[in-house]
Structure 1
Amino acid sequence: MSTQAEEALHALGARLRGFRKDAGFASGRAFARATAWQESKVSRIENGKQRPTEEDIRVWCDKTGQNDHVGDLIAIVRHVDELWLEWRRLLQTGAEQRQKQGLQVYAKTKVFRIWHPTVVWGTLQTAEYASETFKQVVSYYEIPDDAEAATAKRLERQQYLYRGDRIFNVLLGEQALYTNFGGPEIMKGQLDRLLAVMRLPRLSLGILPRSAPTSIWPGNSFSMFDDRLVQVETYSAEFSVSQPREIELYARAFALLRQSAVYGTAVRDLILAAIQHYDRMPTD
C-alpha cells in the first residue's frame, strides 16, 4: 500500500481509538463485545492495518456517541479507496475504461518519467504486443474480454509522442526485451518498434543492463506525471501517490536508476541482441 494511504489509515485508526476510550470502553475487547465484532478486527482498525467499511464507521460512531463525525470519517475512507484501487474493482467492466482514464492523465502531462523493469511501456507497444498483455489481464483478473477495445485505446496514447512539446524519459530493464508476449514474431516486431521510436527527438530511451551496478534496488514499475502524480502497479492493485515528499522519493529513485542505464548506440546493441535471440527461437 502507498505510504500516503497507510498514513491516512493510521490517523483514522488513532482517531477511532480516541472515540472508543472517550466513550468509556477501556479495551478493544470491551468494544468488540459491544459491537459483536472480533477483537482482532478492532485492533486492526485502530492500528491502521485494516480499512474500515463505511458501515463499520457508522457502527463505531453510534457506539461511541460520535455520530456527528460520520460524514467526515466516511470521506477519509473514500479517499483511501482513491489512493488504493484493487484491480478487480478497477477492471470490473473490462480493461478499456482504465485505458480511457489513462488518456486523461496523459493530456495534462508535460514531462513523463517511466520505469518498467520487465515489460515494454504501454505507450511504446505494438498492437500485437499490447493485445497479448491484455489477454493475460483478462484471464488473470477474470474480467469481461474487451482486449481488442483496450488495445485500441492504449494505442491512442501514442499520439502524444508526436504532438505538442511533451518530454518522455523512459527507462526499461533489459529483461523487458526478453519477457515473451506472444512468441518470437510478436517480440521481434516490438523490438523493431523500439528501434524506431528511440529516434524521436523528445523521447529518451534508456535500458538498465542486467549486470549493471545499481545504486537502488529496481523495485516495482512506476510512472511519474510531472511532479504531481506517481502511479504504481502491483498484482493486486494500483495506487496513486500525490503527496510531494513521496513524489520526491520516486524522483530520486528514477535518478538513481538512470545512473545505471545506457543510452544511444548501447541501447541499439542490446535490442539487436534480443532480436537475434528471438531469431534463434523456433516459431512453432
Structure 2
Amino acid sequence: MSSSSVTRAREALGQRLREIRKDSGLTARALAELCSWHESKCSRIEHGRVTPSDADLRAWALNCGVAGQAADLIATARGIDGMYVEWRRMESSGLKRAQESVLPLWERTRRFRAYSSWLIPGPLQTRPYIEALLSAIRDRREVPDDLDAAVQVRIDKQQILRRGGHRFALLLEESVLRHRIGTEAAMAEQLGHLLSVASLPAVSLGIVPFAADRSALWPVEDFWIFDDTQVNVELVSAYLTISQPHEIRMYVDTFAALSRQAVFGGDARRLIGGAIQALG
C-alpha cells in the first residue's frame, strides 16, 4: 500500500488537470472523446484514482489548448510515480543501481536521522555484514547478480560519516544487536565496528533496550529522515518516499519519542558488549 503522500499528490495533479480542462471550456466527456478514451477515464484521473501516463498528459494538454504545459505535467506525474517504487522495478538491472539511486540525496543531506528495528543501518555496516545481507536480498528477490559492485557502492558511501557537514543520529532496537546476519564471526566483527563508529564526532548512536517501557510507543517500521524534507521507508515490496510535511512531522515526532526511550554512551556500549558476549 502506498502512503497518503502518493494519494494526495495524485489528487493535487487531478485538481490541476480539472482546472485546465474547465479553463478550456471542455466537459470531461468531450475531452475523453477528443482523446479517444472511455468517458470514465477523465474522472478517474481528475479524482486521483490513477496516475496518468506521459501519453495521457500530452493528449490532455494538446486537446485543452495548453500543449506547452505537457512537459511540466509529465515531470509532476513522474515525481508521484517515484514516491512508491517496487523493489522489482528498482532492482530490475541488479542491486548496484538501487544502491546508487540514493547517492544524490545523501550528498545534499546535512542531518540524517534513522531508526531500525531489524538491521544495522547501512553507514555502520561492515563488508561481511553487507555481503551477507545483499546476498540474501539477491536470492530472495531473484535479481541479477552484481553483488560485488553493489557491496562496493555501499562501502564507498560510508565515507560520508567522516566528511564535514553531515551529522547522523541513529536509533536501534536492542534486538538489532541480536539478529545475526552472516556467520557468528562476521556478526562479532560488525558489533565491534559499531562500537568504533559510534565514537565518531558526526555520529550519535542510541539503543532502545529490551527493558524500555513500550506502553506508549512500540517498535515501528525502519525509516530514514533526510533533513526535514523527506522520509524513506523500506517496505517488504517497495521503497516508499514521503514528502508531505505533516507526514514528515509524524516521523520526526516518532524519532524524538524513540530517542527518549533509548540509552546512549556507556549504557549503549554495554548493550553492544553484551551482544558480543552472547555470540560466544
- Please state which band the TM-score falls in when normalised by the shorter chain: 0.7 to 0.9
The aligned counterpart of 2:81 is 81
Confirm or deny: 8 A CA contact 2:28 2:42 kept in the other structure.
no
Residue type of the alignment partner of 2:182: G
For residue 239 of structure 1, report the CA deviation from its aligned partner: 2.6
Residue type of the alignment partner of 1:120: I
For 1:14 and 1:247, how far apart are their aligned partners in 2?
23
Residue type of the alignment partner of 1:226: D
| 1:243–1:24 distance in 2 versus 1, CA, 3 Å | closer
Identity rate, percent:
37
Confirm or deny: 8 A CA contact 2:229 2:245 kept in the other structure.
yes
Post-superposition CA distance 1:32-86 (Å, at most 9, x none): xx8459x7x8876554343333345567778x86775755543332121232222
For 2:166 and 2:64, how far apart are their aligned partners in 1?
53
Say which SS state the counterpart of residue 254 (structure 2) adopts. Answer: helix
Confirm or deny: 8 A CA contact 1:58 1:67 kept in the other structure.
no
Provide the alpha-carbon RMSD of the alignment: 3.2
- 1:127-142 superposed matches below 5 A: 127-142=127-142
Gaps of 5+ in 2: none
Between Structure 1 and Structure 2, how many residues are aligned? 274
- 1:55-204 superposed matches below 5 A: 55-57=55-57, 68=67, 71-204=71-204
| 1:42–1:141 distance in 2 versus 1, CA, 3 Å | farther
Confirm or deny: 8 A CA contact 1:84 1:237 kept in the other structure.
yes
Confirm or deny: 8 A CA contact 2:166 2:202 kept in the other structure.
yes
TM-score (norm 1): 0.80
For residue 13 of structure 1, report the CA deviation from its aligned partner: 4.1
For 1:111 and 1:14, how far apart are their aligned partners in 2?
34
For residue 145 of structure 1, report the CA deviation from its aligned partner: 0.8
For residue 260 of structure 1, report the CA deviation from its aligned partner: 0.7
For 1:107 and 1:72, how far apart are their aligned partners in 2?
26
- 1:185-224 superposed matches below 5 A: 185-214=185-214, 215-224=216-225
- 1:198-277 superposed matches below 5 A: 198-214=198-214, 215-277=216-278
For 2:38 and 2:44, how far apart are their aligned partners in 1?
15
Gaps of 5+ in 1: 280-284
TM-score (norm 2): 0.81
For 2:89 and 2:104, how far apart are their aligned partners in 1?
19
Residue type of the alignment partner of 1:252: D
The aligned counterpart of 1:4 is 5
For 1:137 and 1:159, how far apart are their aligned partners in 2?
24
Say which SS state the counterpart of residue 196 (structure 2) adopts. Answer: helix
